[in-house]
Chain A
Amino acid sequence: MEKIIKAYSNLMKRNLDKPELVKFLIKIGLEVAKLWVDYVGDKDAPESLRYLNSICFKFILEPLRDPNNSAFVNLLAPTEILHSMDIYPLFIEAYSSFISGFYCENAFIDKATAEGISDTLCSYHKTFLGALELSILPKLKFAVTSSILCDGNSNTFRYIANRYKIPYYIIDIPYGYSEESVRYVVNQLKEMISIVEAITQKRFDIDRLREIIRLENRTKGYIRSYLESLKNHTMPNSISLEMYKLFVTHPYMGREETFRFFKILADDVIKYPDSGYRIFWIHIMPYFSYPIQRYLNFNKDFKLIGCDLNFDYLEDMDERKPLEAIARKLMLNVNNGNFKRKIDNIKKLIIDLKVDGVIHFCQWGCKQSFGGFMLLKKEIEKMGIPFLAIDGDAVDRRNNPEEQINTRLSAFFEVLTERGKRW
């Protein structure tokens, strides 16, 4: 399979000067991959995760199939509003991940940096900007981003929108929480809605948004039930599948498919007994890394129990005041504001999920995350939980020293087994 994808990658790289062809190859490649996932898929994965895999391909293909009814978004954009208006979001981090899945990220990144984009910028953004510079990125109707989680969002979205001459809107999420700052965000959401209405000629219906939020709340109920069951069960999992959960815990929250996935997941988890060491992952994952795959993909001894990014806001939202609810959701995301909020959330998850070891991935260019990793390390070590930090890149393979990652992981798992189970 890998050989076929690499040959396909070479075909794309040879034709970078023909953007329409590469755009077509990306779309066809994803359509074929979806068919493979639907009819063959990962036999080791539980039913729920196989379904997750399928809907993620569906989600990424929607905006590629219908760019005139789609918008660029970031991970923490208020996509509930777009869902309520039947507009497809294309979340840029996912697009870059799939480009990396095609082994093309290096060519895209090199193009972005040759144009002057900083090589120390996060590779998700560099890959995306490379696609733009190569004219491979589809031109969608508009772009919407929030200012969280990182600095890159505002600038990347402004850059794309200016280059493609499409409207964009940045939702500034204040650092601190107060009723006054909620009003500041709500005001922006209203402004964004009127802009989207004007661009798409679609009417925003607040009752439809309420329905989306109702579905989101029901979905979160299943997430909480899944978390509760995880205390006594461990499911087969892989780093790719855990990363796919970012689709459903963030931009596609509020969609029917997402609700269905968590419902099946909550049923699935209780089918599996509790076994192996429970490994909790912090931040994103280099899904292609062989040493990490070897230790964590469907491993019987070491179980990937979860990733903090998938549990960053699990509160119910007030459907009566949907815009205020969205504003609160964004502002109270544990990754906004003081780093203590992130640390406290992780500590709670470690206790709730009886975690035996924590791996923190320091993603190349992600200052908001690795800037505080020493604070986090200190707190987790105080709990007596082994902590490993790995430097690498979840998009650009060139920034992953495989041998060094392998040695560190081996030593970490040796320490873990030496200590025995924590709980």
Chain B
Amino acid sequence: MVGYVCKYTPYLVIESLGEKTVRIEPKISSYEMSNSLTHPNICSYAKLVLEEILKKKTDKIILTNCCDSIRRLYDILEALPFIKFLHIIDLPKKRDQKGRFLFKNEIIKLIKRYKEFSGKNLDIGNLRDLLNNLSPSIEKRNEKLNLVIIGGRCKESIIEIVEEFGGNILYNLTCTGNRPPYRPIGINEDPIEAYANILLDSYPCMRMDDTKERLDIFTQDKRIDGVIYHTVKFCDLYSYEYADIKDKIDIPLLKLETDYTDTSEGQIRTRVQAFIESLKEKAKKDIQPKSTRKDLIVAGIDSGSTSTNAVIIDANRRILGFSIIPTGAKSIESAYRALEEALKTSGIKMEDLSYIVATGYGRISIHFANLEVTEITCHAKGAFFLNKDIRTIIDVGGQDSKVIKIDKDGNIIDFVMNDKCSAGTGRFLENMSRVLEIPVDRMGKESLDWKEDLEISSMCTVFAESEVISLIAKNKDRKDIIRAIHKSIVKRIISFIERINGEPRYIMTGGVAKNIGVVRCLEEKLGEKVIVPDEPQIVGALGSALIGLEKLEGLTICV
């Protein structure tokens, strides 16, 4: 079995030499061995390929000189004793006549090397057949939401999540998706030359010289409802295209970044689901209320990483009661307890509830809920309900921070959320409170009395902690250090706000909104007052209850 990584790999010639091939798709969650062979900051995918090769002892590999990380991967593999066959294809960036000639010769070189290695001969007739049997790249059409997934290499699991929530991938322009355009090979045509042309004629990736075709689909195909732009951590090639198109195309766009491991699937799921929810909300038209019952009572439960919150509302959208409890080891138990407490404060019995909606990080575990909706949709709904002038919601919770932009009708226009990194979240504040030996709920007030304007330059939690320790060692006042910590959180929030062009009025929700120091720093930076609700932690739960009510009233087609 010969492993390869790049879509430009002419793997069919290897099959015609009588060897099976496989595209390496690592299913690994850590970089145990690769970190000792290379730097941790090379592309996450390249590191995982190395990890996979080391674990499975894959001994025959074909790479292309597609990017810096893969070129270095080749150098590292060259030094591994168990590798029997290793080849790198010199892939030209240019697709003109000279580039095609060079690439054809590269395929011939590969055939020659593999023939020498295996002692097998190329079956040219078989290659012609394989090329003629390449399935045509039929565009799937249906009445669902039509999405384009574009960007760097994308795991199959992301596609599956998109499809699970009702998305139809109309185009897949990532490293893993775009198949070469099909065309039959004539009997007098040289199959190797034809193969070189077929590969070079596929949608170009961002390492190629001319990439214009990639964006033509957005102007030419009017069926596209939404775009998912995917990038891989430490692969920088695609951020240019993202920066270029994000303001150019008038189609809703979701930016996803993954490190190609399985560890961030929960967050990916939340973002994809929220995006599809917002697209469906957008498609909502002329739906008449189904139910006008006045006795409806709905519960919303927000299962977060730090706290679980529940809100009970009636048909008049009045809040009857709520609860905020710490999330324990099992999210379902905490959710149940939060619901019980909220019911108690409202004087409502469990059996009187018409509907339960779960949101938040642990929403998928709450089996007794009738519906699960992402916290992004719920926060937007809850915040807009509290104040119709709100256009930007800043939600900073224990593990996630997100900024959501909504329009004058409360529809989500755009949102951005942190990745696995905990910089600028409640978790970061908790860590710092331990280092500074002060309870986290006292940090806000203490920082208001600051004297010296200190800076923490790094946004990375680990580096920031070492900077805080340095400040402590320099005998800096705790009040000033706390303010510097707050400023660093705000720096992160501001970068999120800028990314989606956030507009006033602003509301801050989530546990960190209770920290007056962070709120003041944020107001200072924005030059605007930031609204903080009396109970900033229950906005998500309130939104989920409102969605439940709308669902019963037939006002939403969301999920």
- With an 8 A cutoff between CB atoms, is A187 at the interface? yes
Residues of A close to B74: CB separation below 8 A = 338
Residues of B close to A318: CB separation below 8 A = none
- Tell whether, in the assembled complex, residue B233 and residue A120 are in contact, meaning their CB atoms are under 8 Å apart: yes
User: Contacts A110-B495, A372-B38: A154 and B207 contacting too (C-beta < 8 A)?
Assistant: yes
- A155 contacts which of B92, B240, B466 (Cβ < 8 Å)? B240
A184 to B97, CA, bound (A): 10
Q: Using an 8 Å CB-CB cutoff, how does the interface string of A274-318 with B read, 1 for contact, 0 for none? A: 000000000000000000000000000000000000000000000
- B239 contacts which of A117, A162, A174, A184 (Cβ < 8 Å)? A117
Min C-beta distance of A124 to chain B, whole Å: 12
A181 to B234, CA, bound (A): 30
- Tell whether, in the assembled complex, residue A174 and residue B92 are in contact, meaning their CB atoms are under 8 Å apart: yes
- Tell whether, in the assembled complex, residue A114 and residue B42 are in contact, meaning their CB atoms are under 8 Å apart: no
- With an 8 A cutoff between CB atoms, is B94 at the interface? yes
- Tell whether, in the assembled complex, residue A371 and residue B39 are in contact, meaning their CB atoms are under 8 Å apart: yes
- Tell whether, in the assembled complex, residue A170 and residue B93 are in contact, meaning their CB atoms are under 8 Å apart: yes
Min C-beta distance of A272 to chain B, whole Å: 36
- With an 8 A cutoff between CB atoms, is B213 at the interface? no
Residues of B close to A401: CB separation below 8 A = 463, 466
Residues of A close to B190: CB separation below 8 A = none
Q: Using an 8 Å CB-CB cutoff, how does the interface string of A354-394 with B read, 1 for contact, 0 for none? A: 00000000101101101111110000000000000000000
- With an 8 A cutoff between CB atoms, is B209 at the interface? yes
- Tell whether, in the assembled complex, residue B255 and residue A151 are in contact, meaning their CB atoms are under 8 Å apart: no
- Tell whether, in the assembled complex, residue B39 and residue A180 are in contact, meaning their CB atoms are under 8 Å apart: no
- Tell whether, in the assembled complex, residue B41 and residue A370 are in contact, meaning their CB atoms are under 8 Å apart: yes
A158-206: which residues lie under 8 A (CB-CB) from chain B?
A: 158-159, 162, 170, 172, 174-176, 180-181, 183-184, 187-188
A364 to B240, CA, bound (A): 18
The chain B residue sitting closest to A173, CB to CB, is B93
Min C-beta distance of A281 to chain B, whole Å: 18
Residues of B close to A159: CB separation below 8 A = 240, 243-244
A373 to B76, CA, bound (A): 10
Interface-side segment among B61-69, B403-411, B534-542? B61-69
- With an 8 A cutoff between CB atoms, is B344 at the interface? no
- A175 contacts which of B76, B79, B88 (Cβ < 8 Å)? B88
- Tell whether, in the assembled complex, residue A184 and residue B98 are in contact, meaning their CB atoms are under 8 Å apart: yes
- With an 8 A cutoff between CB atoms, is B498 at the interface? yes
- With an 8 A cutoff between CB atoms, is A417 at the interface? no
User: Contacts A120-B233, A367-B43: A114 and B71 contacting too (C-beta < 8 A)?
Assistant: no
User: Contacts A339-B75, A371-B69: A365 and B209 contacting too (C-beta < 8 A)?
Assistant: no
Residues of A close to B244: CB separation below 8 A = 159, 162
Residues of B close to A397: CB separation below 8 A = 457
- Tell whether, in the assembled complex, residue A398 and residue B69 are in contact, meaning their CB atoms are under 8 Å apart: no
The chain A residue sitting closest to B238, CB to CB, is A118
- With an 8 A cutoff between CB atoms, is B37 at the interface? yes
Residues of A close to B71: CB separation below 8 A = 175, 339, 368, 371
- With an 8 A cutoff between CB atoms, is B237 at the interface? yes
- With an 8 A cutoff between CB atoms, is B236 at the interface? yes
A326 to B317, CA, bound (A): 74
The chain B residue sitting closest to A186, CB to CB, is B98
A340 to B78, CA, bound (A): 10
A338 to B74, CA, bound (A): 8
Min C-beta distance of B474 to chain A, whole Å: 11
- With an 8 A cutoff between CB atoms, is A135 at the interface? no
A116 to B38, CA, bound (A): 27
- Tell whether, in the assembled complex, residue A184 and residue B68 are in contact, meaning their CB atoms are under 8 Å apart: no
- Tell whether, in the assembled complex, residue B105 and residue A180 are in contact, meaning their CB atoms are under 8 Å apart: yes
A374 to B39, CA, bound (A): 8
- With an 8 A cutoff between CB atoms, is A410 at the interface? no
Residues of A close to B466: CB separation below 8 A = 401, 403-404
A180 to B97, CA, bound (A): 13
How many B residues have CB within 8 A of the partner chain?
55
User: Contacts A180-B102, A397-B457: A121 and B236 contacting too (C-beta < 8 A)?
Assistant: yes
- Tell whether, in the assembled complex, residue B236 and residue A365 are in contact, meaning their CB atoms are under 8 Å apart: yes
- With an 8 A cutoff between CB atoms, is B499 at the interface? yes
- With an 8 A cutoff between CB atoms, is A229 at the interface? no
A318 to B74, CA, bound (A): 32
Residues of A close to B92: CB separation below 8 A = 172, 174, 184
- With an 8 A cutoff between CB atoms, is B336 at the interface? no
User: Contacts A121-B239, A159-B240, A184-B102: A367 and B41 contacting too (C-beta < 8 A)?
Assistant: yes
Q: Using an 8 Å CB-CB cutoff, how does the interface string of B19-58 with A read, 1 for contact, 0 for none? A: 0000000000000000011110111001000000000000
The chain B residue sitting closest to A367, CB to CB, is B68
- Tell whether, in the assembled complex, residue B68 and residue A371 are in contact, meaning their CB atoms are under 8 Å apart: yes
Residues of A close to B37: CB separation below 8 A = 374
Residues of B close to A370: CB separation below 8 A = 38-39, 41-42
Q: Using an 8 Å CB-CB cutoff, how does the interface string of A129-157 with B read, 1 for contact, 0 for none? A: 00000000000000000010011101110
B75-118: which residues lie under 8 A (CB-CB) from chain A?
A: 75-76, 78-79, 88, 90, 92-94, 98-99, 101-102, 105
A143 to B140, CA, bound (A): 40
- With an 8 A cutoff between CB atoms, is A115 at the interface? yes
User: Contacts A116-B239, A154-B93, A154-B209: A372 and B41 contacting too (C-beta < 8 A)?
Assistant: no
- With an 8 A cutoff between CB atoms, is B16 at the interface? no
B232-274: which residues lie under 8 A (CB-CB) from chain A?
A: 233-234, 236-240, 242-244, 246, 255
Q: Using an 8 Å CB-CB cutoff, how does the interface string of B134-172 with A read, 1 for contact, 0 for none? A: 000000000000000000000000000000000000000
- With an 8 A cutoff between CB atoms, is A69 at the interface? no
User: Contacts A367-B234, A371-B38, A397-B457: A155 and B206 contacting too (C-beta < 8 A)?
Assistant: yes
A370 to B72, CA, bound (A): 9
- Tell whether, in the assembled complex, residue B105 and residue A403 are in contact, meaning their CB atoms are under 8 Å apart: no
Residues of B close to A399: CB separation below 8 A = 458
- Tell whether, in the assembled complex, residue A371 and residue B499 are in contact, meaning their CB atoms are under 8 Å apart: no
Q: Using an 8 Å CB-CB cutoff, how does the interface string of B378-391 with A read, 1 for contact, 0 for none? A: 00000000000000
Min C-beta distance of B310 to chain A, whole Å: 36
Min C-beta distance of B275 to chain A, whole Å: 17
- Tell whether, in the assembled complex, residue A172 and residue B42 are in contact, meaning their CB atoms are under 8 Å apart: no
- Tell whether, in the assembled complex, residue B75 and residue A372 are in contact, meaning their CB atoms are under 8 Å apart: yes
A362 to B42, CA, bound (A): 11
B184-219: which residues lie under 8 A (CB-CB) from chain A?
A: 206-207, 209, 211
Q: Which of A175, A365, A367, A397 neighbours the largest number of chain B CB atoms within 10 Å of its CB?
A: A367
Q: Which 9 A-B pairs have the closest CB atoms?
A: A371-B72, A116-B243, A118-B239, A339-B75, A368-B68, A398-B457, A172-B93, A370-B39, A114-B498
> Could you jot down 7 A-B contacts, CB within 8 Å?
A118-B231, A155-B206, A339-B72, A362-B41, A364-B41, A367-B39, A370-B42
Residues of B whose CB lies within 8 Å of any CB of A are 36-39, 41-43, 46, 65, 67-69, 71-76, 78-79, 88, 90, 92-94, 98-99, 101-102, 105, 206-207, 209, 211, 231, 233-234, 236-240, 242-244, 246, 255, 457-458, 463, 466, 470, 495, 498-499
Residues of A whose CB lies within 8 Å of any CB of B are 106, 110, 113-118, 120-122, 147, 150-152, 154-156, 158-159, 162, 170, 172, 174-176, 180-181, 183-184, 187-188, 338-340, 362, 364-365, 367-368, 370-375, 397-399, 401, 403-404
